[in-house]
Structure 1
Amino acid sequence: MDPSSAASPTAWRIVAQGDRTLLVIFGAHIDMAVGQRCIAAAAALRAAGIKGISDIVPTFNTVAVHYQPRVFGANTRFKHLAAEIDKLLSSALIDHPQAIVSRQVEIPVCYGGEYGPDLSDVAAHCRLSEAEVIQLHSATPVYVFMLGFAPGAPYMGIHDEKLAIPRRSTPRTAVPAGSVAMANRQSIIYPNQLPGGWHLIGSSPIKLFDPRHEPPTLVAPGDTVRFVPISGAEFKAMQRDQA
């Protein structure tokens, strides 16, 4: 067997990513079913408590498994762990699949104006009115595929095809905390001031990341999010409550 990969007769591949991480690859595209499979795999791996694994990180279509090489024997670290993970996932995802329980989180958003300076551009690109963009963005709950880019920053989708728009040609060097942005039929919320190249359509007064809380993130991979439109006055009142 190639020491850098482990073929499986199942619907995933396991490949080495350096000397202390392996990737379980479930697909090559952003897809709801693939995302849910990644979440289920990550949950099964966490529940198994395999000795030597230090972190498990689900993404859009892969699960990264970080491990401590010293726990495994010389020249068998990757192969040993890959075989154990393959066996575990075969049982958890194929032989004894569990129903995925998804938590729904409501996130208030004030759209347009000073809160979403790109809303008009998004509407023009999508050949919709601003009200139609807001309605499509908030009508259907979106899936949290992963947290990334910054602590607590959720990547969510997949939106209606009518909201398809690429990233901005010129990124901003500073996007305000709480900004709700769109690109590639996905949404992200910036948990703090950060650079970013997505289109800003609104802002939320809710804190997404607080290291003093347990858990420190408002949402987690596998959750669904429903955006709730609010007025500017409601935004300012909620923002005061969050202070």
Structure 2
Amino acid sequence: MWKNPLNETACQMSPLGDSAIVLTFGNGIEYSIHKKIKLFMEMLEEEPFAGFVECVPAFTNLTVFYEPLVIYNTHKQSDEAISPYHVVRSILEEKLLDLMEDKKLSHRTVTIPVCYGGEYGPDLEYVARYHDLTTDEVIHIHSTGEYLIYMIGFAPGFPFLGGLSEDIATPRRSSPRMTIPAGAVGIAGKQTGVYPISTPGGWQLIGQTPAKLFLPNVNPPSLLQAGDMVKFQPISEQEYKEMKGG
């Protein structure tokens, strides 16, 4: 366990294969952990070390990928063997000393239009019954929330959003669907998310967006990024069709 002597930052570092290192900052889905991950990720991307490839954030950790050969050639000083992992670990430990936890974290806000209920949200009525609410109340609660993207994963461009109200938090379906359409908006426990591509899944589907979240020919290919804030805007079926181009 690495600890910063100047503040309370601590993280567990471990190798992932021969070209990556995982920095774990905690063990819960918490904003304070997300903030450390995001700030350190920004630091590495703004001032990359020789051999740095990319960072991939998750709920509690940050995976740093690097080129072992570049690290080896950059840091070898004799014929003695060196460990690229230990070199990168030392570099990251030095950079962690400069992590400013009191720095304000900026968030881009993305508004996603959603057509709720009906064929677009087949589980909306179930979610309403589960909480003894009307479907309009579920829509109101879901669409007035503001959600932080903790990570992108599961499927290309799939955002895991935190901040769902306990009033509509609903367990996953007991039997997952074999096919869920791209754009489906769902709830699973205390999280909400949007399926960017057609895929199997067990989330409770309450609506669908005409927005495309996964754009394979664009860099980056994901419309949403970890650290973004998401708001949902209710739209009518007619508006959905117009935006969809149908």
Q: Given the two structures, how large is their TM-score scaled by the length of structure 2?
A: 0.89
Question: Which portions of structure 1, spanning 4 or more consecutive aligned residues, are displaced by more than 3 angstroms?
Answer: 72-75
The 5 Å alignment of 1:202-221 reads 202-221=207-226
Q: What is the match of residue 88 of structure 1?
A: 95
The answer on 1:11 being equivalent to 2:7 is no
| Maintained 8 Å contact 2:179/2:199 | yes
| Maintained 8 Å contact 2:187/2:205 | yes
RMSD: 1.7
Q: Given the two structures, how large is their TM-score scaled by the length of structure 1?
A: 0.90
Distance 2:96 2:125 in 1: 46
Structure 1 segments unaligned to the other structure (5+ residues): 1-5
Distance 1:11 1:149 in 2: 27
The answer on 1:68 being equivalent to 2:75 is no
Residue identity over aligned pairs, in percent, reads: 38
**Quick one: structure 1 residues 176 and 11, their matched pair in 2 at CA, closer, same or farther if it must change by over 3 Å?**
same
Distance 2:168 2:90 in 1: 42
Secondary structure of the residue that 2:113 maps to in structure 1?
A: strand
| Maintained 8 Å contact 2:182/2:197 | yes
Q: What is the match of residue 105 of structure 1?
A: 110
Distance 2:189 2:163 in 1: 9
Distance 1:102 1:228 in 2: 18
Aligned length: 234
Structure 2 segments unaligned to the other structure (5+ residues): 73-80
Secondary structure of the residue that 1:163 maps to in structure 2?
A: coil
Q: What is the match of residue 52 of structure 1?
A: 51
The 5 Å alignment of 1:170-185 reads 170-185=175-190
- The structure number with the bigger radius of gyration is 2
| Maintained 8 Å contact 1:44/1:89 | no
**Among residues 109, 132, 138, which one is paired with 2:137 in the alignment?**
132
CA-CA distance at 1:75 after TM superposition: 4.5
Between 28-37 and 54-63, report the one with greater CA deviation.
Answer: 28-37
